[in-house]
C-alpha cells in the first residue's frame, strides 16, 4: 500500500508539472509589449505581439516540429493589391484563424505567414514594421523588410498525447524516451502497425504476447518491445515530444521518429506473509 501511494503521488505531481509546461511557450508571450502604433483592426480573440525580426533561412513563423516530426506545416500566402482581399493585419489573421493556426504575421507589405510554433522571443521588440499594406489598405502597416508584425489568438496546439490511462492490467506509462543516434530505445522485437492501427493498447498486446515487459510506440506506426531500456537512451522531460499521431488513431500520440513512448508491465513478486507486490522492471521488492 505504501508503494502504491508513492506511485500515485508521483504520477499526480508529474501530471501537474506537465500541464504547466504545456502552456509555457504561450505564457512567455503574455508579457510582450505591443507595437507603439497598437493595431486597431484586430479580429475577435486576437492580440498584437509587435514587430519581430525575420530571416528567410529560419522563419520566425515556421513549421511546428517536435521529436523530428512536422506536426503542422507553416502557411505562406501573398495578398497583392490585385487580390480580391489585399493584405492587411485583419485579412492575414482571418486567413490563419480559419486554417487553425495560433500565430499570424504580415511582412513585406503583401506577405502573410501562419504558424502554431511559438516564435523565439529574442527576435521581438524590433522597429521597422512600417511598410504600407497594399491598396486600398495603405493606411495600415504590414511589416517590413526582414520585419514581421505578429498576432496571436493564444490557442495552444491540440497535441495528441501518449495514452496514460485505461491500459491493460499491470501496465503503466513510463514516459517519452529519446533515441541516442541510431540506437533505438527498445530493440528486441518490433512490428509495423501502419495498416491495422497503432496505439498503446495494440502495442502492449503485441509485446505482452511475446513475453516482453516493455513496449514502446514510435514514428506513429512502429511498435517496439524489450525487457530493458537500451544504453545511451534517456527520458525526455521536454513536453510534447512523443506526440506524432498514431496510425489509424490520430487522437493518441505514438512517439516520433526520434522518440518512443514507453510502457512497462509490473511483475508479481512474493514477499513475507504471502503478500504479492506489483513492481515495475528493475524495482527491488520491499519486504514489510
Percentage of residues of the chain with pLDDT beyond 70: 79
Is 2 domain-assigned? no
Q: Which residue has the higher pLDDT, 267 or 113?
A: 113
Q: What is the pLDDT of residue 177?
A: 96
Q: How far apart are CA 84 and CA 62, in angstroms?
A: 26
146 and 165: one domain? no
176 and 123: one domain? no
pLDDT at 272 over 70: no
Is 110 in contact with 134 (CB distance < 8 Å)? Answer: yes
Q: Which residue has the higher pLDDT, 83 or 78?
A: 78
28 and 136: one domain? yes
Q: What is the pLDDT of residue 199?
A: 97
Q: Which of 25, 256, 8, 276 is nearest to 157 (CA)?
A: 25
pLDDT at 174 over 90: yes
Is 12 domain-assigned? no
Is 6 domain-assigned? no
Secondary structure in 3-state letters for 179-216: CECCECCCCCEEEECCCCCCCHHHHHHHHHHCCCCEEE
Is 284 domain-assigned? no
Q: Which residue has the higher pLDDT, 24 or 183?
A: 183
Domain boundary among 127, 152, 177: 152
Q: Which of 256, 233, 234 is nearest to 245 (CA)?
A: 256
Q: How far apart are CA 159 and CA 3, in angstroms?
A: 32
pLDDT at 24 over 50: no
129 and 56: one domain? yes
pLDDT at 150 over 70: yes
The boundaries of the domain holding residue 167 are 159-266
Predicted structure pTM score: 0.78
| 287 φ/ψ angles, rounded to the nearest 5 degrees | -90, 120
pLDDT at 56 over 90: no
164 and 253: one domain? yes
Q: What is the pLDDT of residue 222?
A: 97
148 and 25: one domain? yes
pLDDT at 239 over 80: yes
Is 8 domain-assigned? no
Q: What is the pLDDT of residue 17?
A: 39
Residue 269: pLDDT band by 50, 70, 90 thresholds? low
Domain boundary among 97, 130, 152: 152
Percentage of residues of the chain with pLDDT beyond 90: 70
Q: What is the mean pLDDT of residues 241-263?
A: 96
Tell me how many domains the chain contains: 2
135 and 174: one domain? no
Q: How many CB atoms lie within 10 A of CB 212?
A: 21
Is 273 domain-assigned? no
Is it true that the peptide bond before 136 is cis, omega within 30 degrees of 0?
A: yes
pLDDT at 85 over 80: yes
Is 175 domain-assigned? yes
Q: What is the pLDDT of residue 267?
A: 73
Q: What is the mean pLDDT of residues 205-226?
A: 97
Amino acid at each position: 500500500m505504501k508503494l502504491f501511494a508513492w506511485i500515485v503521488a508521483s504520477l499526480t505531481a508529474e501530471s501537474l508539472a506537465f500541464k504547466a509546461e504545456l502552456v509555457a511557450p504561450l505564457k512567455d508571450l503574455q508579457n510582450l509589449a505591443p507595437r507603439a502604433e497598437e493595431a486597431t483592426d484586430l479580429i475577435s480573440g486576437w492580440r498584437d505581439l509587435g514587430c519581430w525580426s525575420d530571416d528567410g533561412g529560419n522563419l520566425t513563423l515556421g513549421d511546428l516540429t517536435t521529436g523530428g516530426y512536422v506536426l503542422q506545416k507553416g502557411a505562406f500566402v501573398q495578398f497583392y493589391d490585385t487580390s480580391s482581399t489585399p493584405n492587411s493585419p485583419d485579412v492575414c489573421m482571418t486567413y490563419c484563424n480559419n486554417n487553425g493556426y495560433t500565430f499570424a504575421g504580415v511582412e513585406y507589405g503583401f506577405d502573410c505567414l501562419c504558424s502554431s510554433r511559438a516564435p523565439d522571443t529574442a527576435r521581438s521588440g524590433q522597429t521597422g514594421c512600417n511598410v504600407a499594406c497594399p491598396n486600398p489598405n495603405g493606411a495600415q502597416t504590414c511589416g517590413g523588410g526582414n520585419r514581421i508584425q505578429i498576432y496571436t489568438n493564444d490557442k495552444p496546439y491540440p497535441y495528441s498525447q501518449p495514452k496514460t490511462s485505461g491500459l491493460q492490467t499491470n501496465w503503466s506509462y513510463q514516459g517519452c524516451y529519446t533515441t541516442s543516434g541510431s540506437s533505438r530505445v527498445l530493440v528486441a522485437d518490433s512490428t509495423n502497425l501502419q495498416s491495422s492501427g497503432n496505439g498503446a493498447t495494440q502495442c502492449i498486446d503485441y509485446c505482452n504476447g511475446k513475453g516482453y515487459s516493455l513496449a514502446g510506440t514510435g514514428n506513429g506506426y512502429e511498435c517496439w518491445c524489450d525487457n530493458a531500456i537500451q544504453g545511451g537512451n534517456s527520458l525526455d522531460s521536454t513536453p510534447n515530444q512523443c506526440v506524432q499521431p498514431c496510425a489509424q488513431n490520430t487522437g493518441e500520440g505514438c512517439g516520433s521518429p526520434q522518440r518512443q513512448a514507453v510502457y512497462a508491465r509490473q511483475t508479481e513478486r512474493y514477499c513475507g506473509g504471502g503478500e504479492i507486490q506489483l513492481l515495475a522492471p528493475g524495482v527491488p521488492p520491499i519486504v514489510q
